[in-house]
Amino acid sequence: TNLDAANNYKVEHCKEPENWKVVEGAKIIYSAGFFATVSPDSIKAASRQKAQDGGIYCMNLSAPFLMQVPPFKGVFVDTMPYVDFLFGNETEAQTWAETEGWETTDLEFIAMRLSLIPSAKKSKRTVVITQGCDPAIVCVNGLVTKHPVIVLPQEKLVDTNGAGDAYVGGFLAGLVKGLPVADCCKAGAYSASVIVQRSGCTFPAKPDYKL
């Protein structure tokens, strides 16, 4: 992957009138955690705007190293009060707990604590932690639920790269339609199950799933 453009992104581009209009008009904004390495000012601007206009701001922990490097971790700490939906996998969640000194690897407990980090918004934070073929853990304001994924036989697994991102994509598709969290999780599970059966991040021309 050539990341030249992404690695040179500046908040000034985000705030150009025609681009900022998109930010202001968006009901939901999603930031991958990797953006913390490039333009934390853009994350700050977008997350604060959604807090101001009542929109939804979503973020992904994305990779363990982002929590292990203090300047990158600092971006998450600064942004967390403005995050409505936080995504991550089991390793990322446990790395967060380790860097916070929580002294636990219990994913349900970690999800609970992440959901209860004080918010600058009136809404309650939803934390979604995927864990491979095990059920996804969802926690809203300290209340944990589990949501099954689609378990496939080994011979159908072609490439697991992008499975987590596909899960988030399906989840957000449901969120955009105003579906309850359980249905968003079903959409995420479907998306992930499709991606892992194909080489690379590709998908069929027409999905067989309806939101």
Name the residues annotated as catalytic.
165
Edge-to-edge strands, sheet with 56-60: 28-31, 56-60, 85-89, 126-131, 134-140, 143-147
CA 107 to chain centre: 16
**Could you give the CA distance from residue 114 to residue 132 in angstroms, rounded to a whole number?**
20
CA 173 to chain centre: 13
User: Is the separation of the CB atoms in 166 and 136 below 8 Å?
Assistant: no
CA distances from 189 to 8, 65, 168, 199 (A): 33, 26, 9, 18
User: CA torsion 69→74→75→76, rounded to 10°?
Assistant: 90
